[in-house]
């Protein structure tokens, strides 16, 4: 398996196109007491998406530490993680749909060498709040995506907002056919082999608490690409935990448990332990100084530790040994 240095390829690509590389914000939001965690790359950038000038300019790129606890019960499958990293590039009132889509296509097909036949894209179908996004669809067509692989969906699928209120807009999602089976002629969002690899959001509204959409000062672009998922895709793996990001950790779990990852009886437990120990380390190491407790982030930390221990017991790991330090 060839290791793919996705983060560097991505950041360099956008740096060459005028973007400033900015560091990841901590995983615990610094100025937003309403959120426990940064859940997407755009979250620390909300004030700038709303129009405040960013000190580094109007084109930014980064890899942001993200934490999501809304699908904790799904962690243990091939693709969900509590902690993950998100690559992104932003235009703060600078370029818009054409550049964003042209560059996404170029990076995916030329730099990351993904065959265009394995891609499908979706665009916003339009409703009373915002028009059908034919501009985006036509940009995809010009870039090289065949018309029969361009689909339209409504707000449930092709609209992005973090939470209930704030900057939002129509998005276009890029899907990759992650299977050795032949690519079907139709894109089917229900088919798990189609995995979303990148999301470009055209943030141009502020969703207000009264439910209305007010135009933002600027038309912005916010994109997000999950590192763990895309590295797995590029390394030809259908299970994220088989990619180079996770192999050392899984090997260590095999060592401390004396069990085999490929033994179906143990795979799920090993994935949960791998996911949770990584999340625990990141959370404990955050500048905010989180300790296990019964409130807020401390409660999440405690839950993750308890859940990890429960699964360690399933693997007959001696929980009085130094197993968790070795994994950390
Ligand atoms: N905010 C969007 C997402 O999280 C794009 O960055 O997918």
| 67-81 residue pLDDT tens | 999 888 899 999 899
The residues facing 21 across adjacent strands are: 61
Length of the chain: 328
The residues facing 67 across adjacent strands are: 83
Q: What is the pLDDT of residue 132?
A: 97
Residue with CA at minimum distance from ligand 1 atom 7: 224
Pocket lining: 137 vs ligand 1, CB cutoff 6 Å? no
Q: State the number of CA atoms in the 13 A half-sphere of 196 facing the CB.
A: 17
Q: How confident is the model at residue 51 (pLDDT cuts 50, 70, 90)?
A: very high
Structure tokens at 273: 């332990």
Q: What is the pLDDT of residue 177?
A: 96
Pocket lining: 199 vs ligand 1, CB cutoff 6 Å? yes
**CA of residue 313 to ligand 1 center, whole Å:** 36
**CA of residue 225 to ligand 1 center, whole Å:** 8
**CA of residue 245 to ligand 1 center, whole Å:** 21
Which residue from 223, 228, 229 has its CB within 8 A of the most atoms of ligand 1, so it is best to mutate? Answer: 223
User: Residue 88 pLDDT more than 80?
Assistant: yes
Q: What is the pLDDT of residue 163?
A: 84
Pocket lining: 158 vs ligand 1, CB cutoff 6 Å? no
Which residue from 199, 205, 220, 226 has its CB within 8 A of the most atoms of ligand 1, so it is best to mutate? Answer: 199
Q: What is the pLDDT of residue 33?
A: 81
Mean pLDDT of the chain: 96
Pairing of strands 166-177, 119-124: antiparallel
DSSP 114-170: --GGGEEEEEE---SSS---HHHHHHHHHHT--GGGEEEE-HHHHEEESSSSEEEEE
**CA of residue 15 to ligand 1 center, whole Å:** 20
Mean pLDDT along residues 299-323:
97
Quick: pLDDT tens for 192-241: 899 999 999 999 999 999 999 999 999 999 999 999 999 999 999 999 99
Q: What is the pLDDT of residue 194?
A: 95
Mean pLDDT along residues 152-181:
95
Pocket lining: 41 vs ligand 1, CB cutoff 6 Å? yes
Q: What is the pLDDT of residue 49?
A: 96
**CA of residue 223 to ligand 1 center, whole Å:** 6
Q: What is the pLDDT of residue 162?
A: 87
Are 60 and 15 contacting, i.e. CB atoms less than 8 angstroms apart?
A: no
Q: How confident is the model at residue 130 (pLDDT cuts 50, 70, 90)?
A: very high
User: Residue 258 pLDDT more than 80?
Assistant: yes
């Amino acid at each position: 398996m060839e290791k793919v240095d996705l983060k560097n390829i991505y950041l360099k690509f956008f740096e060459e196109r005028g973007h400033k590389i900015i560091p990841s914000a901590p995983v615990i939001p610094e100025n937003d007491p309403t959120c426990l965690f940064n859940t997407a790359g755009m979250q620390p950038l909300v004030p700038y998406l709303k129009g405040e000038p960013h000190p580094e300019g109007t084109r930014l790129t980064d890899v942001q530490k993200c934490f999501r606890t809304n699908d904790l019960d799904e962690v243990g499958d091939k693709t969900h993680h509590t902690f993950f990293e998100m690559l992104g590039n932003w235009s703060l009132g600078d370029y818009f749909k054409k550049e964003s889509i042209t560059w996404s296509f170029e990076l995916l097909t030329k730099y990351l060498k993904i065959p265009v036949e394995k891609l499908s894209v979706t665009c916003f179908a339009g409703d009373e709040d915002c028009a059908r996004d034919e501009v985006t669809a036509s940009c995809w067509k010009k870039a090289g995506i065949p018309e029969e692989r361009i689909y339209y969906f409504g707000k449930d699928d092709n609209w992005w907002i973090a939470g209930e209120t704030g900057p939002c807009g129509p998005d276009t999602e890029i899907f990759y056919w992650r299977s050795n089976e032949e690519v079907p002629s139709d894109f089917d969002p229900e088919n798990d082999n189609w995995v979303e690899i990148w999301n470009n959001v055209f943030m141009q509204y502020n969703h207000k608490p009264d439910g209305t959409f007010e135009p933002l000062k600027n038309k912005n672009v916010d994109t997000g690409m999950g590192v763990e998922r895309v590295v797995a895709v590029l390394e030809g793996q259908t299970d994220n935990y088989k990619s180079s990001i996770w192999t050392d950790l899984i090997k260590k779990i095999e060592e401390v448990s004396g069990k085999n990852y490929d033994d179906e009886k143990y795979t799920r437990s090993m994935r949960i332990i791998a996911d949770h120990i990584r999340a625990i380390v990141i959370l404990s190491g955050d500048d905010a100084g989180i300790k296990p407790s019964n409130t807020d982030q401390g409660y999440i930390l405690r839950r993750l530790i308890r859940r990890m221990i429960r699964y360690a017991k399933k693997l007959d790991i001696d929980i009085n040994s130094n197993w968790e330090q070795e994994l950390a």
